[in-house]
A and B are shown apart, each in its own frame.
Chain A
Amino acid sequence: EVQLVESGGGLVQPGRSMKLSCAASGFTFNNYDMAWVCQAPKKGLEWVATISYDGSSTYYRDSVKGRFTISRDNAKSTLYLQMDSLRSEDTATYYCARHVPYGGYQPWGQGVMVTVSS
């Protein structure tokens, strides 16, 4: 079964850092691009970042450029999101997702909540 399991969320103060992890199983991790998508409370989905299958290319939404870093460890089948200089507007549930070529994001993890508040 293809599965993605996020971890690392919680409460963090503005300006501090947090690192999310996403453990993948059930598929050949290093064959796929991966993505992070977030959803603020009672809001819609927002793409955050994508990393290529080999980690050589990364893409970010403007609001997180320079603050967030997406990375992966193919040996551990794990995706990461390092979030620095966190702001209150970063408060959201963060989902990791596998990017299937021409196939959208499938599947998604269950999500991890990040709350940025003093």
Chain B
Amino acid sequence: EIVLTQSPVSITASQGEKVTITCRASSSISSNYLHWYQQKAGSYPKLLIYRTSILASGFPDSFSGSGSDTSYTLTISCMQDEVAASYYCQQGSSSPYTFGAGTKLELK
């Protein structure tokens, strides 16, 4: 099983601040199979970034993703109230198709 370790577990950022969330895999993953999801409180998850770096429809380009092998990053260039949510990485490379434990992002 590929274990995905996200850090930090939670983060509080100020308006306009840049935020970085890391996802580390216990073994190598093709970048084609690493995805990120956003889940706002009380709602279902939404695909945010797929194949490591491709932004899903409906999300602003303040979100970006990068990485390879065992280390992946989600970056939010400018913290705003509307990006306060939980973020999860997920690998679709091999079953079980695991998720990271999540990062809760809040506005200071």
Contacts and interface: CB of A to CB of B under 8 A. Distances in A.
Q: Which bucket holds chain B's interface residue count?
A: 20 to 34
B11 interface: no
B50 A102 contact: yes
Contact of A102 (B45, B51, B86, B101): B51
B101 A44 contact: yes
Given A45-B102, A102-B32, A108 B44 contact: yes
A103 B44 contact: no
B24 interface: no
Nearest to B36: A104
Given A102-B50, A102-B51, A104-B90, A109 B96 contact: no
Given A46-B99, A50-B97, A104-B50, A95 B45 contact: yes
Interface of A: 35, 37, 44-47, 50, 59, 61-62, 95, 99-100, 102-111
Given A102-B32, A104-B90, A106-B56, 18 more contacts: A44-B99, A44-B100, A44-B101, A45-B102, A47-B90, A47-B97, A47-B99, A50-B95, A50-B97, A59-B95, A59-B96, A99-B92, A102-B92, A103-B51, A104-B47, A106-B46, A106-B50, A111-B44
